[in-house]
Amino acid sequence: MRNRNEVLQQLRTISGDGSAPILIVGGGINGIGLYRDLALQNVPTILIDKSDFSSGTSAAPSRLIHGGLRYLETGEFELVRESVIERNHLIRNAPHLVKPIPVWVPAFSWFGGMLSAGLRFLKLKKTPGAKGILVVKLGLVFFDRFGRKNQMMPTHRLMSRSESKRRMPGLSDKVCAVAEYYDARLVHPERLVLELVKDAERDCPQSIALPYLSLDGTDGDQVRLKDEISGETFTLKPQLVINCAGAWADEVDRRLHIEKRLIGGTRGSHLIMRRPDLARQLGDGMLYFETRDFRACLVYALDTDNILLGTTDIRVNDPDGARCSDAEIDYLFDVLEQVLPGAKARKEEIVFAYAGIRPLPWSGDATTGSISRDHALHEFEPETNRTFPVLTLVGGKWTTYRACAEQICDAVLKRIGMRRTGSTLSQPIGGGRNLATDPEGHDRAIDGIATASGLEPAVAAILYRRYGSQARHVAAMMAEGDGKPVGGDGLYYKNEIRWMLQTERVTRLADIILRRTLLPFENAITPAALAGIAAIAAGELGWDDLRLADEIAHTTSLLTRHHRVTSLAP
């Protein structure tokens, strides 16, 4: 994968030769998914993002690839069917990053919510209501049916109160029964995005994706792009612009002389907490529960010490101000207490907090939970002050990104007079290619990496878990030099960080801390690790002392002010 300076030079050439490329604005999962699909069709494309890849909404999900069980209540059967199919294919295509997870749905009654669910299904009621176990079971019957064609996991079952209490003693005594079904956990969303970029540029080397490059404005047949790091500007004459900026789509449209409100975002916040006691109870499963205000929340263990708790759903107008508020923390603590009384969560247990804006369609005063999570493509034809068409995506979610990208890609191909030559449906992603998933193959792969690189088998196993079949490239670099952990006892290795810097278009220190690694989710952000990674980045990227100090200060501020990380306090 080319570094950022090499790609910038390629952009300078394109800017100067007068060609008319296709431009994608937005480097979240939907924009990158489209970038990948167009590359498979051998359609050269330029993708830009004003920040890092997957640094907005795509970095702030519940880290699940889910079938959308709750969408059944609003009658969105097609969305659920699509979600289940896409989920099953993602487990196959990226097994190192997408893994099955058992889900428990506790219910506080047997028959509650049947009338309310029926009215919502018939569109006669907008606000959600309580759902008993029979309503949940009915939904799971449909859910299982949608997944039969390419079934990957067991069908649902009901657990008695005694069995559920035996497996999770802290569960509320008010729970009468629990339904168990399977969905999938997305271990590292940002890495999946990076691997899609690499796959795209392998298949279509003329395509380029650039972080920290923004759309600055439009003038007739030209767009101006601005490097957010150096201030350098570029001009392009695009054949077509696809706006995949998510929560920022309206802002991008305005710069393209389109004055129409499409986005009505809501904020979803999550907490990472150090709670070994709850992690032990949750084990390898997730608790997916209904709150008193009839919203859906979840909690599951990330490892033996830390849990993830979410999420909220609050209307917002400023996507740049996405951060978890004190009120949201109080709300999440309260709903956790409803299902696990005695949990007694405290703010001191929070090791990381994050928030993102869902790019939902503008819907006036509709209840946030009733707004569709499906996607739609709005097409704007050329006008006097903009001579090229614009396609703007509204909505979309992690689980269905590939299907969404395929639909947009087909619209693009139709406009440029080309036919589809292949599908991404069964294309392996990054380290999922040639990945052994059976125990014997898994062990052979790790032994092969250890033998070829000279690394300890335990280290090879860590790399294999993180990067799948691409671990051999990381191991090869680690074998060349310093294989010590960053910060002395850190979870990442010095030459592993160098591999990221050389191959993953890292531009700022925060790109590594927040997105190329899982340090925040492993409760592993320490002053030593931050300083060690910063020093490596300075050496690889040519930062002087002033830039190094600025990057450390910027990243520290982000972590402490936006993400509530206390481990960096002086």
In angstroms, what CA-CA distances link 542 with 500, 508, 536?
A: 15, 12, 10
Q: Which of 64-68, 104-108, 364-368, 547-551 has the least mean pLDDT? A: 364-368
Residues 170, 191: contact at Cβ < 8 Å? no
Q: Which residues contact 332 (CB under 8 A, 6 or more apart)?
A: 269, 271, 297, 309, 310, 312, 345
Q: Is the dihedral of CA 343, 347, 349, 355 positive or negative?
A: positive
State mean pLDDT over 287-301: 92
Tell me the whole-structure pTM to 2 decimals: 0.94
User: Going edge to edge, which strands form the sheet with 233-236?
Assistant: 213-219, 222-227, 233-236
For residue 265, pLDDT beyond 70:
yes
Rounded to whole angstroms, how far apart are CA atoms 32 and 22? Answer: 14
Give me the pLDDT at residue 123, please.
52
Residues 43, 416: contact at Cβ < 8 Å? yes
Strands 306-310 and 296-301: antiparallel
Give me the residues paired with residue 101 across strands.
183
More confident residue, 340 or 315: 340
Give me the residues paired with residue 280 across strands.
none
Residues 354, 267: contact at Cβ < 8 Å? no
Residues 323, 562: contact at Cβ < 8 Å? yes
DSSP character at residue 268: E
Give me the pLDDT at residue 272, please.
98
AA letter at 9:
Q
Q: Which residues contact 244 (CB under 8 A, 6 or more apart)?
A: 24, 25, 26, 28, 30, 31, 34, 393, 408
Contacts within 8 Å (CB) and 24+ apart, 534-537: 534/509, 536/486, 536/494, 536/497, 536/498, 536/501, 537/497, 537/501, 537/506, 537/509, 537/512
Give me the pLDDT at residue 237, please.
95
Measure the CA angle with vertex 541, ends 248 and 234; round to 5°.
45
Give me the pLDDT at residue 122, please.
46
What residue has token string 């209501």? Answer: 129
Work out the pLDDT band at 144, boundaries 50, 70, 90.
confident
For residue 352, pLDDT beyond 60:
yes
What residue has token string 């792969």? Answer: 445
More confident residue, 481 or 342: 342
State mean pLDDT over 465-483: 91
Give me the pLDDT at residue 115, please.
46
Rounded to whole angstroms, how far apart are CA atoms 527 and 569? Answer: 9
What residue has token string 């010490």? Answer: 305
List helix spans (H) across 28-113.
29-40, 77-93
Per-residue burial over 377-389, b if 16 or more Cβ lie within 10 Å, else e, is bbebeeeeebebb
Q: Which residues contact 355 (CB under 8 A, 6 or more apart)?
A: 60, 267, 268, 269, 270, 322, 323, 324, 328
93 three-state secondary structure: helix
The predicted-structure confidence for 26-57, as pLDDT tens digits, reads as follows: 999 999 999 999 999 999 999 999 999 999 99
Give me the pLDDT at residue 111, please.
67
For residue 16, pLDDT beyond 90:
no
Residues 500, 514: contact at Cβ < 8 Å? no
Nearest to 370 by CA among 108, 124, 10: 124
- State phi, psi for 480 to the nearest 5 degrees: -80, -20
State mean pLDDT over 357-378: 73
Give me the pLDDT at residue 119, please.
45
Rounded to whole angstroms, how far apart are CA atoms 198 and 546? Answer: 32
Give me the pLDDT at residue 146, please.
78
Q: Percentage of the chain with pLDDT > 90?
A: 75
CB atoms within 10 A of CB 275: 22
Work out the pLDDT band at 126, boundaries 50, 70, 90.
low
Q: Which residues contact 165 (CB under 8 A, 6 or more apart)?
A: 171
In angstroms, what CA-CA distances link 494 with 397, 478, 539?
A: 34, 8, 12
Work out the pLDDT band at 112, boundaries 50, 70, 90.
low
Element (H, E) at 534: helix 527-541
Work out the pLDDT band at 135, boundaries 50, 70, 90.
confident
Q: Which of 85-89, 157-161, 413-417, 546-550 has the least mean pLDDT? A: 157-161
State mean pLDDT over 81-86: 91
Q: Which of 104-113, 210-219, 408-417 has the least mean pLDDT? A: 104-113
AA letter at 96:
H
Q: Which residues contact 253 (CB under 8 A, 6 or more apart)?
A: 243, 259, 260, 262, 380, 390, 392
State mean pLDDT over 383-389: 94
Q: Which residues contact 166 (CB under 8 A, 6 or more apart)?
A: none
Residues 288, 296: contact at Cβ < 8 Å? yes
Nearest to 156 by CA among 135, 181, 136: 181
For residue 226, pLDDT beyond 70:
yes
Nearest to 236 by CA among 438, 46, 76: 46
Residues 471, 506: contact at Cβ < 8 Å? no
